[in-house]
């Protein structure tokens, strides 16, 4: 148990409230384990009819995972990082297969690990304050926590775009992409939660009661450009298309790509291509665990966290340093499955047919 997650039962609703505001509720291994234990305890409890995930205070739902721990472990023996990923991914899978309705309130910053616990929920509530992203390529990681599954199933090439650029979208964009199911004004959230707690029998109706019409999605208006310029699964082709286009928007995307890890941008493109062909989420998570263990054995994650989080000089020295230097052989090696005894497995209490 950890005070970084507040566990409560109110009415027929089990509540998971992230409570690490100074870190924008970034997930630690202990937080993931605490949430998993609560979900397992509620799974067969007939008095618990739904689960609600939100945050107790602060300016965001969840900023991601414990990347400092991951980088420190990656600089050593990798064991703590592997343990973190294994625990987090089991939580992601448990939520995806959970038999009771889950409601996630994605109010404010919802990134990385926050996406991983919100996206499996049946009801995903966005607000005017939602800032949603999978920014992992900027620190030498890839869009994990189920990101390969979710992003590969977005309209057109939008998922590939979000994966390689780490672009941020808002609540209206999340609705347009079906990443969110409901759009509520942030000042009505507590009322909506109270109604759900009082009667969890019709969560959809309760959310609809407080819903607002989202503004136009700027991201949706960009989909034709995204589909055209990010059409290829070869990163070199995407660069070439952006350079040939020459528009201000294309130049801005080139500038964004130039800040990301060339290695993990290529990994992300292949990850989504492979995930799009999978039929079970459990297989996606096994693939992502293999990738995570391979990636943390390479230098980019340590360097990315140094540049963006520790020293904050925003000048990562990637290795390999360029897109062209990331060979197919290197990417093949990163996608090599782990030995059988090291591979990720779901919780035995979780369904594996999804």
pLDDT-based confidence at residue 59 (cuts at 50, 70, 90)? confident
Give the mean pLDDT of 303-307.
96
Burial string for 44-80 (b: 16+ CB within 10 Å, else e) reads eeeebbbbbbbbeebebbbbbbbbebbbebbeeebeb
Candidate list 14, 65, 138, 146, residue with the active-site label = 65
CA dihedral 285, 291, 297, 303 (to 10 degrees): -100
Give pLDDT tens digits for 228-277. Answer: 999 999 999 999 999 999 899 999 999 999 999 999 999 999 999 999 99
Asked whether residue 343 carries a pLDDT value surpassing 80, the answer given is yes
Question: SS3 sequence, 42-58?
Answer: HHCCCCCCEEEEEECCC
Alpha helices in 100-247 (DSSP H): 113-118, 147-152, 158-165, 171-176, 189-198, 203-210, 218-221, 223-229, 235-245
Which residue in 113, 114, 138, 304 is the catalytic one?
113
Give the whole-number percent of the chain exceeding pLDDT 90.
96
Confidence of residue 58 (pLDDT cuts 50, 70, 90): confident
The span from the first CA to the last CA of the chain, in angstroms, equals: 28
- pLDDT over 90 (residue 60): yes
* Token duo for residue 260: 């990301």
Whether 113 is catalytic: yes
pLDDT at 134: 98
The active-site residue out of 66, 136, 173, 290 is 136
Gyration radius (Cα) of the chain, Å: 20
For the cut 70, the answer to whether the pLDDT of residue 354 exceeds it is no
Q: Is residue 283 pLDDT above 80, yes or no?
A: yes
Residue 99 catalytic? no
Burial of residue 216 (number of CB atoms within 10 Å: 0-12, 13-18, 19+): exposed
Q: What average pLDDT score do residues 207-235 get? A: 97
Structure tokens at 138: 């900027």
**Annotated catalytic residue within 144, 173, 288, 303:** 144
Give the DSSP letter string of 57-122: SSSEEE--B-HHHHHHHHTTTSHHHHHHHHHHHHHHHHHHH-SS-EEEEE-SEEETHHHHHHTTSS
Q: Which segment of 57-71, 237-251, 284-298 scores lowest on mean pLDDT?
A: 57-71
Mean pLDDT, residues 198-203: 96
Question: Does pLDDT of 353 surpass 90?
Answer: no
Q: Phi and psi (nearest 5°) for 251?
A: -65, -35
Query: For residues 65 and 84, is the Cβ–Cβ distance under 8 A?
Result: yes
Q: What is the pLDDT of residue 130?
A: 98
pLDDT in the model for residue 351:
74
Mind listing the domains of the chain with CATH numbers?
Answer: 5-342 (3.90.226.10)
pLDDT digits (tens, 9 = 90+) for 143-152: 999 999 999 9
Whole-angstrom distance, CA of residue 165 vs CA of residue 130 = 18
């Amino acid at each position: 148990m950890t005070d970084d997650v507040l566990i409560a039962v109110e009415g027929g609703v089990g509540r998971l409230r992230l409570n690490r505001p100074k870190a924008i509720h970034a997930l630690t291994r202990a937080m993931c384990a605490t949430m998993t234990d609560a979900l397992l305890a509620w799974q067969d409890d007939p008095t618990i009819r739904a689960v609600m995930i939100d945050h107790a205070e602060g300016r965001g739902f969840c900023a991601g995972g414990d990347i400092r721990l991951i980088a420190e472990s990656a600089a050593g023996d990798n064991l703590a990082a592997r343990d973190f990923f294994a625990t987090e991914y089991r939580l992601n899978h448990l939520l995806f297969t959970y038999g009771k309705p889950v409601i996630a309130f994605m109010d404010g910053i919802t990134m990385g690990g926050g996406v991983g616990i919100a996206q499996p929920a049946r009801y995903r509530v966005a607000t005017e304050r939602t800032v949603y992203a999978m920014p992992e390529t900027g620190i030498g990681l890839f869009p994990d926590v189920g990101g390969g599954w979710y992003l590969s199933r977005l309209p057109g090439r939008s998922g590939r775009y979000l994966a390689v650029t780490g672009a941020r979208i808002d609540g209206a964009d999340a609705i347009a992409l079906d990443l969110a199911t409901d759009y509520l004004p942030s000042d009505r959230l507590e009322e909506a939660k109270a109604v759900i707690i009082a009667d969890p029998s019709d969560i959809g109706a309760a959310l609809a009661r407080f819903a607002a019409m989202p503004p136009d999605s700027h991201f949706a208006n960009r989909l034709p450009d995204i589909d055209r310029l990010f059409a290829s699964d070869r990163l070199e082709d995407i660069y070439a298309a952006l350079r040939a286009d020459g528009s201000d928007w294309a130049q801005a995307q080139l500038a964004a790509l130039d800040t990301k890890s060339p290695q993990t941008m290529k990994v992300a493109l292949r990850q989504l291509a492979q995930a799009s062909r999978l039929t079970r989420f459990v297989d996606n998570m096994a693939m992502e665990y293999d990738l995570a263990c391979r990636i943390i054995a390479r230098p980019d994650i340590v360097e990315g966290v140094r540049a963006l989080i520790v020293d904050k000089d925003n000048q990562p020295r990637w290795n390999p340093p360029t897109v062209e230097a990331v060979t197919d052989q290197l990417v093949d090696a990163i996608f090599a499955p782990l030995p059988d005894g090291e591979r990720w497995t779901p919780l035995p209490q979780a369904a594996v047919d999804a």
